[in-house]
Amino acid sequence: MRLQQALLGPLLVSFAFAQDLGVPLSWRKFSNSRPRSERITIAQNAINAIVPQLDSSNGEFNSIGYWQSGNVYSAAANQDKSAGTTTNRAFVINNLNLVYSKYAHYDKYGVCLSILRYGIRMFFERLFSITMTRCGGHNRRSMHTAPTINMLAHAVDVWTHVTGYVVTQAQANSGRNPLKTVTIQSTCNGKTMAGGVFWTTRADDGGINSITTGLYTTLSAFLAEYTGNSTYTNAAILSANWIKNHQINANNIVLDTTSADCSTGPGLYTYNSGKYIEGLSVLAAVTGDSSWTSLMINILNSAVKSSAWQGSDGIITEGSSPGGNNDGVGFKAIFIRGLHEAWTRNSPNTALLTLIHSYGDVQYNALLDLAATGNTYSSNWHGPPQAFTTWGQLAALDVMTSNIDTN
């Protein structure tokens, strides 16, 4: 969907009036006219520039570590799906199989968060050529290659492993999870703790947070969509409700932490909202429950306009770290990916699509105009350009691949 900037003015007024999804006119360059073929080339060139940093012994990329490396494969898989190519397929499949062979359940550190972060997204529709069939009243995807089946098995294995660290209603009532030594409060602020996901497998750690629970919600929803199995649907609903009950502030931004003892953690980070937006987008499609879509839209509208991680120009400032890697670099990549998922599943909502398109173009134009050195990019999207860094390149990948569709 390419909208010329000259046409946006009257559209924005009607969108803002109808659903308050208007694009702020203070945003910097919220459209562009690059043809699709050029956008595909720009994105693939960005991927090609990071590939030489791969350590073929462990599937990780120099200077960005384990979970951020998983996001490179997500972007490469999304590139193939959006561009309609198989350019990156072998690269993604071979390295995911390598990592899985080294670490059971993708569990390198005994941290549910890292397990779920690593490669969760590319297990699904962005990775393989698939066709939709109807089976038993559910949408199912027929899978055409052995590697596809392996990836689905990996996803089920990860889900099964992490499910042991999800607080069930019975565990909330009893205050105990069999894999933990900490006490779980049955309710926090009058709401059940059922559905929350512990962020680490360590027995004495009671931390539960939005990103781990959001990742589990998303994985469960995708598995439900693929298999039609209500076990996955119910798991997604339970965890989505935990975030809805505990983690959304008065400004519709997803907060970080509510632990087993009801203690909360400070900080506002893009990826908490982004992953929840992604999970809700899939869950709404699986359940047909429009309340999940409404919640997703409210959070998305707030997140793309939040002053917590951007100024009035709309350019994301989180993870702007030219001198060294930090978690925020990967956070904003996950945020953009969540917005892309919402865009792919909400075609009737023109106002929402325009908002996502415009926000994506703000980031895209900033990278190309202010932060680019050839095909490589600074993690500071305001610029100035700098020599290649793996983390800067990582941060840009999802912007480039998502823009193939959203522009």
User: From CA 337, how far away is CA 64, in angstroms rounded?
Assistant: 18
User: From CA 208, how far away is CA 275, in angstroms rounded?
Assistant: 15
pLDDT at 149: 55
pLDDT at 153: 83
Amino acid at 167: V
Number of domains in the chain: 1
**CA dist list (Å): 204 to 72, 91, 198, 324:** 32, 38, 11, 32
- Cβ atoms of residues 86 and 129 within 8 Å: yes
pLDDT at 60: 95
Residue 185 belongs to domain spanning: 5-406
User: From CA 337, how far away is CA 340, in angstroms rounded?
Assistant: 5
Amino acid at 282: V
Burial of 399 (0-12, 13-18, 19+ CB in 10 A): buried
Phi, psi for 386 (deg, rounded to 5):
-150, 175
- Determine the Cα angle at 81 with ends 75 and 82, to 5°: 85
CATH code of the domain in which 210 resides:
1.50.10.20
Kindly give, in sequence order, each residue whose CB lies less than 8 Å from that of residue 112, ignoring residues fewer than 6 positions away.
162, 165, 197, 198, 199, 200, 201, 212, 216
User: From CA 216, how far away is CA 303, in angstroms rounded?
Assistant: 21
pLDDT at 123: 53
- pLDDT 10s digits, 351-387: 999 999 999 999 999 999 999 999 999 999 999 999 9
98: Cα separation from own chain's centroid: 23
pLDDT, tens digit only, all 407 positions of the chain: 333 333 333 333 333 333 589 999 999 999 999 999 999 999 999 999 999 999 999 999 999 999 999 999 989 989 998 999 989 988 988 888 898 899 988 888 888 777 777 755 555 544 333 332 323 333 444 333 445 557 788 888 889 999 999 999 999 999 999 999 999 999 999 999 999 999 999 999 999 999 999 999 999 999 999 889 999 999 999 999 999 999 999 999 999 999 999 999 988 999 999 999 999 999 999 999 999 999 999 999 999 999 999 999 999 999 999 999 999 999 999 999 999 999 999 999 999 999 999 999 999 999 999 999 999 999 999 999 999 999 999 999 999 999 999 99
407: Cα separation from own chain's centroid: 19
User: From CA 212, how far away is CA 384, in angstroms rounded?
Assistant: 34
Of the candidates 78, 224, 252, 246, which has an alpha carbon nearest to the alpha carbon of residue 155? 224
- Cβ atoms of residues 379 and 391 within 8 Å: yes
Long-range contacts (CB closer than 8 Å, 24 or more residues apart) made by 65-70: 65/325, 66/108, 66/109, 66/114, 66/118, 67/113, 67/114, 67/117, 67/118, 67/330, 68/325, 68/329, 68/330, 68/391, 68/394, 69/118, 70/117, 70/118, 70/119, 70/120
pTM: predicted TM-score of the whole model, two decimal places: 0.91
Kindly give, in sequence order, each residue whose CB lies less than 8 Å from that of residue 238, ignoring residues fewer than 6 positions away.
166, 169, 194, 195
